[in-house]
A and B are shown apart, each in its own frame.
Chain A
Amino acid sequence: MSGILAVLEAGHKLSAETLAAAVDLGAKLGLSVHSVEPGGTYTADGFTDGLAELIRTKQFQVVLFPHTYQVRDFAPKLATRFDRSLISDVIRLRVDSGVLFVTRQLFQGKMNAEIKPLGEPVFLSLQAGAYRAGEAEGVVVEAMPAAGAAPRQKPEEKFREAARAVDLSAAPIIVSVGRGIKEKENLSLIEDLAGALGAEIAASRPICDNGWLPMERQVGSSGQTVAPKLYVAVGLSGAIQHLVGMKGAKTVVAINKDENAPIFEVADYGMCADLFEVLPALTAAIRAAKG
């Protein structure tokens, strides 16, 4: 007995996409589809022990995970226990003559790599948006085996920092800045553009890591999720961690000097140019257009 195991995360929006991928892959590879949703308090040790037991007992050939922070914490450990690599952050699955190929990003989205897993089991984690959530009929629900030894990690209660003073989720227009701005002093160019457009200012993670803007203005997987009418990305390459936070934007304008920057893949309007030349002119033209 063997098949595909989808390891779901309770309450996480990626779980349904992962299950849909497992169903699709099961049909293409002719494998039965199973799912498990580990419950209880998360620890890397506990989840790894329980899932290793389940995979070993039922001899699953493929194990799929949603690419969540929690999965990043334990799935590499689980794969290592079977002397396999987890192929993480997969954006596409392809079956050709019964052989599985997967695509994942390299260089923060600047390149894609197609990978052929060797040996079994195959461990894969799926990036958000890789699959549309769909019907999941005929899936065998598996029970998580009881934990073995006591986990070494002692997790405490989850918490949020003090309430966010800035709520970007309701902003109709956002001007977002990335590393291309080079120096903190140059942020005035962004402030001027945002002022002209009546926009909120946001940033990619490195800008907030540097302390140039407060963490609460960060958009992305570790920051805020936004869905404005207009999102203007300036000097921002568009790493996947950022894109997941802004893909709900209705219209995206990208200004970047690298024509291969991944931000152009999601932009409606793109301008391949030096932001230091473009921004002052753009701000002036917008002010003039608004009269």
Chain B
Amino acid sequence: MKILVAIKQVPARDSLLTAAASGKWIDESNLEYEINEPDAYALEEALQLKEAHGGEVVAVCAGPDRASATIREALAKGADRAIHIAVDDIVDWDTLATAKLLAAAVKTEAPDLVLTGLQSDDVGAGQAGVVMAELLGLPHATIIMQVDIEGGMLRVKRELEDGWFQHVGMPLPAVLTIQSGIKKLRYATLMGIKKAKTKEVKTLTPGELGVSHVASYELVGVTLPQKSKQTQMVKTVAELVEKLKNEVHVL
């Protein structure tokens, strides 16, 4: 079974974010990057499915040069090879345009299963998987907590709201978006890191994939959110305890 996993590189989770001088995006000059967490779970699920059913795991990632660090990490964890869609201005590509790049790369591989995280920690549109499915003409399901494969059919456990779940069946090939926490994440081993250096990474450009950059929305500007409540900031523990006692009346 050939499984493709679409992964994204995002700013590290505890980054302190400020708007860039242009006001159109965050200031990226001093950021560190990491794999988007839900995509790490999608990769983990792919690796475990391969361990159970055999086959191959191919990671695909769209981004500038820096994305190669995230691709190497996926290879170190056990992906067999990778596709790097080289796009310097990836942050200017909207949800649909980015998904078109990913779908075009997936199409060249004709996989049995495509996995990705349910959303990204940066833009958070939560759509790449579903849009890819439509572009590829494949069935899909989202927010998946369990994947079972039997006789060319897929049976997945979807998370619904308020603690509800639902099993859904569908034929392969298909696209699934994976919920964080589906399995325990593995760490890359030293051996894995060493091996990753020799694994194949194919680089493709949007032009080679036949995808042109068309926008369906324009990002006007980014700002820090306004506070909706009047937050009283306290400096000391004593001050906080005084508030809990005299204003909140819980002590």
User: Which residues of chain A have a CB within 8 Å of any CB of chain B?
Assistant: 44-45, 48, 68-70, 72-74, 76-77, 79-81, 83-89, 101, 105-119, 152-161, 164, 173, 179, 197, 205-206, 208-211, 221-225, 229-230, 251-254, 258, 260, 262, 264-272, 278, 281-282, 285-286, 289-290
A158 contacts B142, C-beta separation under 8 Å: no
Asked if A44 and B217 sit within 8 Å, CB to CB, the answer is no
Chain B 25-50 interface residues, beta-carbon cutoff 8 Å to A: 26, 37
How many Å lie between the Cα of A79 and that of B131 in the bound state?
8
User: Is B223 an interface position by the 8 A CB rule?
Assistant: yes
Interface residues of B (CB under 8 A from A): 11, 13-14, 16-17, 19, 26, 37, 94-97, 99, 121-127, 130-131, 133-135, 139-143, 158-171, 179-181, 184, 215-235, 237-238, 240-241, 243-245, 248, 250-251
Q: Which 4 A-B pairs have the closest CB atoms?
A: A209-B181, A152-B139, A76-B127, A76-B130
Minimum Cβ distance to chain B for residue A63 (Å): 13
Set of chain A residues within 8 Å of B94, measured between Cβ atoms: 85
Of B121, B124, B233, B238, most buried by chain A (CB within 10 Å of CB) is B124
Bound together, the chains give a CA A159 to CA B222 distance in angstroms of: 40
A209–B180 Cα gap in the complex (Å)? 7
How far is B159's CA from A179's CA once the two chains are assembled, in angstroms? 22
Tell me the minimal C-beta distance from B88 to chain A in angstroms. 20
Question: Cβ of A105 and Cβ of B225 under 8 Å apart?
Answer: yes
Q: Which residues of A contact B142 (CB under 8 A)?
A: 69, 72-73
Query: Beyond the given A106-B123, A229-B250, A269-B240, could you list 8 further A-B residue pairs with CB under 8 A, ordered by the A residue number?
Result: A76-B95, A89-B124, A154-B168, A161-B165, A230-B244, A258-B14, A270-B231, A289-B241
CA–CA, A234 and B237, complex, Å:
14
Select one of A105, A158, A269, A281 contacting B165, CB under 8 A: A158
Q: A108 and B131: CB pair below 8 A?
A: no
Residues of A close to B163: CB separation below 8 A: 160-161, 164, 222-224
Q: Which of B37, B134, B159, B243 has the most CB of A within 10 A?
A: B134
A111 touching B224, Cβ below 8 Å: yes
Min distance, Cβ A14 to any Cβ of chain B, angstroms: 10
**Chain A, Cβ-Cβ closest to B249:** A229
Find out whether the CB atom of A211 lies under 8 angstroms from the CB atom of B160.
no
Q: Which of B124, B141, B164 contacts A44 (CB 8 A)?
A: B141
Chain B residues with CB below 8 A from A205, complex form = 180-181
A88 touches B251 (CB 8 A): no
Instruction: With A156-B166, A265-B227 as known contacts, state yes or no: A286 contacts B244, CB within 8 Å.
Output: yes
Complex Cα distance A265/B231, Å? 7
17 contacts between A and B (CB under 8 A): A69-B143, A72-B130, A76-B126, A80-B135, A108-B124, A110-B225, A111-B222, A114-B221, A114-B223, A158-B160, A205-B180, A229-B248, A230-B248, A253-B248, A260-B16, A285-B237, A286-B251
Contact partner of A112 (CB less than 8 A), chosen from B99, B179, B224, B250, is B224
Q: Are A77 and B131 in contact (CB under 8 A)?
A: yes
Contact B126 A289 (CB under 8 A): no
Minimum distance in angstroms from B31 CB to a CB of chain A = 11
Asked if A111 contacts B225 (CB within 8 A), the reply is yes
CB within 8 Å for A86 and B95 given contacts A81-B134, A271-B240? yes
Q: Are A160 and B165 in contact (CB under 8 A)?
A: yes
Are the CB atoms of A208 and B181 closer together than 8 Å?
yes
How distant is the Cα of A48 from the Cα of B26 in the complex, in angstroms? Answer: 35
Say whether B248 contacts A282, CB under 8 Å. no
Across the interface, which residues of B come within 8 angstroms of A72, CB to CB?
126-127, 130, 142-143
Chain A: which residue is nearest B41 at the CB level?
A: A209
A151 (CB) vs chain B CBs: closest residue: B139
CB of A212 to closest CB in B, whole Å: 11
When chains A and B are docked, how far (Å) is the Cα of A187 from the Cα of B238?
23
A289 touches B245 (CB 8 A): yes
Chain A residues in 8 Å Cβ range of B217:
85, 87, 115-118
Residues of B within 8 A of A152 (CB): 139, 170-171
How far, in Å, is A144 (CB) from chain B's closest CB?
A: 19
In the bound complex, residues from chain B placing their C-beta under 8 Å from that of A115 are 217-220
Known A209-B180, A260-B16, A285-B238; contact A269-B223, beta-carbon cutoff 8 A = no
Q: Is the CB of A74 within 8 A of B165?
A: no
Known: A81-B134, A159-B165, A282-B240. A112 touches B222 (CB 8 A): yes
Q: Taking the nearest CB of chain A, how far is it from the CB of B18, in angstroms?
A: 9
B11 contacts across to A, CB distance below 8 A: 107
Residue of A nearest to B128 (CB): A76
Assess A271 versus B96: contact at CB under 8 Å? Given A45-B139, A159-B166, A264-B227: no
Please, which residues of chain B bring their CB within 8 A of the CB of A290?
A: 251
